[in-house]
Structure 1
């Protein structure tokens, strides 16, 4: 029996040994090709993983080569295959055939991942708006009328947002809006709105409109926050695009965007240079109603700028959960502005008494530097748990000089010359820490802090020729320094399930600010601490109908332009200056939004209410035919508004997008014993139609209307204008031709009138029609039209 047992044991051992030897010799080769389903382009560095069917753990694997192919051996016998890549939906393969010790998966197509569950799309073919719990995300598409345009033109296409001819941005008609770039303040979004022109339409990935920002965000901006997110490709390998633009008025530029993604690094860069011209026609009337003396001014100006900008940066993937990002950008602009205007002065009998010409020649250089270091860590316990630490620096310097020459053509006024110089420097430093911690199920806690340093110095002087010698005017010459420090801490708690969600938050901010006029040693200091609560809730009634309710408290600190007391002497009879004693505005904001989806129609409607105290308004005083406008804190403002925007696709080849905003306001204020109580309303509407034509042609036309409205002293006229564009795709979208016409009928005119008991003022400005033609080419896995290189 012992021998028999020994025989069976020996036989079993021999069989197992033979099976193991056979298994070790039976190596299987897995091969295939991975392509992007949409573009049919190869995906480099995609991961091919072989996983055990029982334990679900990885056994072996490989990555794709530059042409998307892969081939590697495995000795596994009970497994399945997963193919994945960042930004794409993972594909799992359980059924495959083995032939001649080879598994040939042939061509595997990966689809780009769609993120953001429980979101509602309002637009699709061009740009699209996504509604989230506390913000709306405007994903920037290839809108035809924005071809070759700047961020300012793109913002004009975003629902709820409008931009006037001077680059001043309003959200639902309120200028108290904070502009961020990639979630942080930037010199590109400073007081001078035109600086946003360094950002072009093709550089923008999406724009976030946050009408009721949560406590996580900086409390600055009474009407909310607009966050411009720039593109940064994550595609593996070498990708990019190049764009050439030409236009009338003069608009020539070249842009290049290049991205290289490897296993450990993502290197990204953008380069642009060009020249632009902005012609402007203007007219003003100053009437002294007590003496019936009138001064009119009619003229035109031409603003030319040459620019070059470069951005470079790198993401370093320390491991799969930790990323370090370092980026920097440099821009340099050379500005030349010439203006020629004619002044006429008439008396009470409307008889001409004096005439003179005033010519301007302005030159300026503007270097801009921005640098950022960011560390992000994701945690293993939850995919949404993260820690972000960042440091950001901004620097801007304007060196400007202007010469003004007055030549009398009628009357006995003396000829005279003036000049002004500006040496302006700005430094911003922002240090942030944000931590997100999901817990239990559907709950998330956020906490963090931010410290912001703003330093500004403006050395300004005005000189007149006296006795053939330039002499500085001490009343218009000084150095203005501003230092502001804001420290903030916040926490939010959120619950978000399939049907219902809420988010509560509280932010504490301490602000220290001091200003100094060096020549007169005039100082002003402010130190105040505020709490800013926020609350949101949303409920999905059905898959096609949702409701959102939100509240936030906001602050609008005075900008440098509002604080700087220096006068603008471009027109000696229409002067604006700042007020160093200006106090911040405070707003309580409430909003109720409904979101609807139908088969061919989707839209949203919002009711909102703002209550603002210490409202900043420009007050104009008049003396000796000179109007001086200065910001003051005047009372409170109650605003109730309604907004609707949506998309309708009645046919496969036709898409219509619309936006309507109406608000009614009740002002109450007292300034220097004068009552400024009044009521009014304003509304705006935009309607855009996109038509898909045969032969890969697209056509788009957009109509815009802004109603007339009143401020404390002014009446602002209504405005209507039309934009259109045509696009042609070539080589499967690799090459794109664009023709755009902005303000087709040259009807976009900014016009204001001020009527008071003792004076009357009229001002108008117009820039006219802009025509642009662009050619874009995308290479690698990049798309055409990523970056145009244009300044504005």
Structure 2
């Protein structure tokens, strides 16, 4: 019954809002509507339309056309008027004089038609462009279209230049020092793994991007999950019929070879738009880990020295296809289907030395593990967008279904030796099979109504249902035969249902814009540890307010403040209590008792001259979900898990500035300074109260010469503290050169990442019984050759459709 309460409230609210707009009124002024068409008599969207007095051409009002090319002016007094339409690349269109008579309610203006062309002044073409950096109410916008960034760069390369955004060597996207960023395309949330998203963005040409929006404090309209923010990539809309596509081939070599190929096709004919993408790839990589740790038990200390070599082989195939059909000028119906077929093989060799003194090795052991994992997924989305009227009233609906089937077959062979290399004891042979099924259903509806010219109302509901089923089947070799290992065999089933609703109100004044919203989410979850006969139930209702204020001080100065409350629920994999071994003394284990974490975030933003952006932020997170290590002083084991810490306080400042030295030398500086403090009164029996100031910086320089484009970038991350871990500094230098051929249809790029092979992970931790040092070196220096060929009508781009299930999908472990 409680789950239907939000439905009922929303329907009542929607009915009242629609009814309020339909009430008979007796206005003293009229509403003027019209339509703007291009030279082919097709509607032109998002064109500036101005209402002028016929007597002196003074401006009365201004607006933009909607998707159907329609516009509306409210509260127009009696008199004679003309309509003027202006758009980049077109000649201005001016209507004939028309009259608004006293007492008229609705007036239809003469149809406007625009013709292609440009304006020249003494041989100089006048072109207007938006500022590169634009500050809006709840987001910072980087206008890529018509900028120097659009030509020759991929979407991933452009994204790295967005304010506060960094992309690391593994293609993980961070926003102001925080990972876990949600990526949207054309205002639709999306779920892809880091590798899938990187492949998609690398194969998306910069010329197809209109803008990139950075939303560090999302409004109530968005899912309350995620404290890192949202990045929204807006692609240009389809405006012409035809077929186009792109083929991208990528090959890279470091110590091992890797490659991928993707094909994208789009076709638009009349009201139908069909699109699809196929991607396949192979990744071979090596990871070397050295771990030195000491475990204290009373007056005795046991010393461990470990070296692990991990060889990883991944083969993946992904597909995505869909279609949009405009049933009328007001309604668009669409669907999109995604699939993933990935196989992963891991060959790991681990050697661990043990002793009671740092120098002595009383024994050692070798663990050889072979792990085969498969990831299969299928997702389907149906969506409908209805424009109720020309005043901006619309309703959109998304229905989603997703299913994941992952399986892991693991074999662990451990051999024990004396210091002289002789056998010490009988080898230990273990096997695991871990099939996993995840099913997600979601339904989402969003409603928007322009109550007045300066007051906007938004509301929506969302329902999701998730079920995960993980079955660990473990065996141990006894007398040459594998039998069931009851100490490790387990089954974990998790059910979760979330009902959500939100409202937003936005008001525009002369120089100030204000938006306030409230989102409510009710969560019911149950985790059943079937073999252990344990059940964890949770039921909670949360409210997530948000407020945004933006003020224009002058043409060169803008400021904004914002506040929002967020939630992060545990990933499904982190709730799973199964153990995954590196060796007999080192393993990873989930925590079914994890609680969600909550964040209150505040932000102050300043923009100078539409280019330099400075942001100050503060956030406090409670019940912080943090990776930690726990030592068993009796068994001498150490395992990694996630636990809830008490609080995390985070302060940050970000400065982003593009620069131009000469016509052929441009660049961008992005610097983030932050301080994170963690506190917990009861972590592994001890107290944690630690923090450290840190910073990240990225300098990118671009050079144009003789048809070539070169890029040189440097990254630096200072030492930082995260939970119980101290992370040492990291730095690297990347470079690349590219050139376009065949009328810019073919682009060839050669690049090298981490030229000096300096990027490595060095982590230490001294907490309670653990004294730990980790030195990890991935395969980071890669020489890469990328070929991209665009064919067909390159003005056609797919309308990107993502689903409403992305918060839930983002908590699923992906294969590549």
Give the structure-1-normalised TM-score: 0.79
| Aligned counterparts of 2:262 and 2:216: Cα–Cα separation in 1 | 33
Aligned to 2:620: 611
SS in 2 for 1:561: helix
SS in 2 for 1:642: strand
Q: Deviations over 1:726-775 (max 9, x none)?
A: 11011221111111222222222122111135331122322221221121
Does the alignment pair 1:573 with 2:582?
no
Aligned to 1:386: 394
SS in 1 for 2:222: coil
CA contact (8 A) 1:463 1:472 kept: yes
SS in 1 for 2:524: strand
Does the alignment pair 1:647 with 2:658?
yes
Does the alignment pair 1:135 with 2:136?
no
Change (3 A) 1:88 1:542: closer
| Aligned counterparts of 1:138 and 1:423: Cα–Cα separation in 2 | 44
Change (3 A) 1:357 1:779: same
Aligned to 2:223: 218
Structure 2 residue aligned with 1:445, among 457, 462, 467?
457
Aligned to 1:277: 284
**What's the offset of the Cα at 1:265?**
0.3
CA contact (8 A) 1:144 1:725 kept: no
**What's the offset of the Cα at 1:162?**
4.7
**How do 1:298-317 and structure 2 match up within 5 A?**
298-317=307-326
Change (3 A) 1:707 1:156: farther
| Aligned counterparts of 2:273 and 2:196: Cα–Cα separation in 1 | 28
Q: Deviations over 1:9-33 (max 9, x none)?
A: xxxxxxxxxxxxxxxxxxxxxxxxx
| Aligned counterparts of 1:562 and 1:628: Cα–Cα separation in 2 | 13
| Aligned counterparts of 1:563 and 1:186: Cα–Cα separation in 2 | 23
CA contact (8 A) 1:504 1:534 kept: yes
CA contact (8 A) 2:238 2:796 kept: no
Corresponding pairs, count: 687
**What's the offset of the Cα at 1:436?**
1.1
Structure 2 residue aligned with 1:748, among 752, 759, 762?
759
CA contact (8 A) 1:286 1:573 kept: no
Aligned to 2:203: 202
**What's the offset of the Cα at 1:634?**
2.1
**What's the offset of the Cα at 1:94?**
7.9
Q: Deviations over 1:286-337 (max 9, x none)?
A: 2224533322222322212222222111110111111101111222112222
Unaligned ranges ≥5, structure 2: 1-37, 45-53, 55-81, 96-112, 120-127, 799-814
SS in 1 for 2:434: strand
Change (3 A) 1:146 1:560: farther
Structure 1 residue aligned with 2:414, among 406, 421, 439?
406
Moved more, 231-240 or 518-527: 231-240
Change (3 A) 1:735 1:208: same
Aligned to 2:712: 701
Structure 1 residue aligned with 2:500, among 488, 491, 499?
488
**What's the offset of the Cα at 1:172?**
2.7
Unaligned ranges ≥5, structure 1: 1-33, 35-42, 49-55, 57-79, 96-104, 112-116, 123-129
CA contact (8 A) 1:721 1:746 kept: yes
Change (3 A) 1:648 1:658: same
Structure 2 residue aligned with 1:244, among 233, 246, 249?
249
SS in 1 for 2:430: strand
| Aligned counterparts of 1:570 and 1:146: Cα–Cα separation in 2 | 46
**What's the offset of the Cα at 1:197?**
5.4
**What's the offset of the Cα at 1:353?**
2.1
SS in 2 for 1:460: strand
Q: Deviations over 1:388-443 (max 9, x none)?
A: 11112222211221222223452514322222222112222221111111132222
Moved more, 649-658 or 567-576: 567-576
Structure 1 residue aligned with 2:295, among 278, 288, 294?
288
Q: Deviations over 1:37-71 (max 9, x none)?
A: xxxxxx999679xxxxxxx9xxxxxxxxxxxxxxx
**What's the offset of the Cα at 1:589?**
0.7
| Aligned counterparts of 1:419 and 1:170: Cα–Cα separation in 2 | 37
| Aligned counterparts of 1:81 and 1:496: Cα–Cα separation in 2 | 24
Aligned to 1:560: 572
Aligned to 2:372: 363
| Aligned counterparts of 1:232 and 1:358: Cα–Cα separation in 2 | 55
Aligned to 1:121: 132
Structure 2 residue aligned with 1:780, among 789, 792, 803?
792
CA contact (8 A) 2:677 2:690 kept: yes
Q: Deviations over 1:558-608 (max 9, x none)?
A: 22132111122133323222221111111111100001127xxx2110111
Structure 2 residue aligned with 1:593, among 597, 600, 605?
605
CA contact (8 A) 2:466 2:496 kept: yes
Q: Deviations over 1:486-505 (max 9, x none)?
A: 11111111123562211111
Change (3 A) 1:229 1:339: farther
Q: CA RMSD in A?
A: 3.7
SS in 2 for 1:212: coil
Structure 1 residue aligned with 2:178, among 151, 171, 174?
174
